[in-house]
Amino acid sequence: MKVLIRAAAAVAALLVLAVTGLMAMVLVDGDAEATEVSGGGGAGGLKGVPEEFRTWILKAAEECEQPEMSPALLAAQLYQESRFETLARSHVGAQGPAQFMPGTWATWGRDSDNNGEASPWDIGDAVMAQGRMMCSLIKQANSSGYGGDARSLALAGYNAGWGAVEKYRGIPPYAETQNYVRIILSTMKRFEGPNRLQIEGSGSGADALRKAAGRLGTPYAYGGGGPGGPSLGFCTGGGGYRNGTCVADDTVGFDCSSLVQYAYWPDLKLPRTAAAQYGATSDRAVSRQDLKPGDLLFWSHGGSGAIYHVALYAGDGNVLHAPRTGKTVELVALATAMPDRDYYGATRP
């Protein structure tokens, strides 16, 4: 699924370049480069999972840089392992919803839910460990040179051990492992939700969200974008670079605040940066429990003067935003958009 999403993003980027042509670079004060929860998993497209698993599955997928790892893959694997049963235990001693053997848990288990204990029985700990292990296995599969789909090889490694995959240079000829891979890949569809953003209602918030949603897949460009749409970005300080190379000055797109500015323009002429947008709307604060589509959400490193990111609330616990260099305008879960500890508050323009 991620492969399709990224392909669509690439097409969108080419369309943006075709439409915008050679744009003049406007030097404005860009936002601080967002320090988000790293990832490539994406959050949309997940259905049919218990609510207590949903956030963790999305977070685990988002933290993996391998495009093959989708929320639906993790959900289908959890369903096959335990039917989402927290206290599941196998006859050979595998424990919890992700069915970790004690030795394997010692490698991958961490206290992801911050309750003071790393436990394979805790949903958050188990799902995040599953995600880390699967992400590592997919990476190994991609670099192995073995034939077959990387997801299939990773699932085989999860079930039979990567040593068995190496021994047979592919999926081992074990009936249990082959059935495990086949069943999970065939049941992924049942957990894939709609990727399109459904926006209902009217009003400035819904209209702004609708306008921004039309830019899904547009590249992130530090310092780029504005009321008229995407434009070339620029590099300054720590912003606009990827792996030490300046990419913003060759990228046509939006950064987080220019996307928001574009979405509300011209009915509401918001200022350019995330901090200034908070200052312009802070007298209309909204609690997290009362969010409506189009509300602005802010993240900070400490106080209103250190706000570094802004996003549009998209309903159903999701946000639409331009996250950081190397990514595109995307729909993700609020819980995984940026570090939750940095969440500063929301306003209604």
Q: Which residues are catalytic?
A: 81
DSSP per residue, 68-91: T--HHHHHHHHHHHHTT-TT-B-T
Among 126, 10, 141, which Cα is nearest to 66's? 141
16's tokens: 């943006």
Q: Map residue 328 onto helix, strand or coil.
A: strand
Q: Which two tokens stand for residue 294?
A: 């189009």
What percent of the chain is helix, strand and coil (3-state, nearest 5)?
45, 15, 40
Tokens in use for 114? 């911050």
Could you give the C-alpha distances from 327 to 4, 6, 28, 156, 216, in angstroms and in order? Answer: 15, 9, 21, 30, 11
Nearest to 51 by CA among 339, 344, 340, 335: 335
| CA separation for the pair 122, 145 (Å, rounded) | 35
Say whether the peptide bond before residue 219 is cis (omega within 30 degrees of 0): no
Q: Is 35 left (phi over 0), alpha (psi -120 to 50) or beta?
A: beta
Quote the CA–CA distance of 161 and 180 in Å, as a whole number. Answer: 13
Q: DSSP secondary-structure letter at 95?
A: B
Measure Cα distances from 313 to 190, 272, 291, 310, 348 in Å: 26, 18, 7, 10, 10
- Residue type for 289, please? Q
**Residue type at 214?**
G
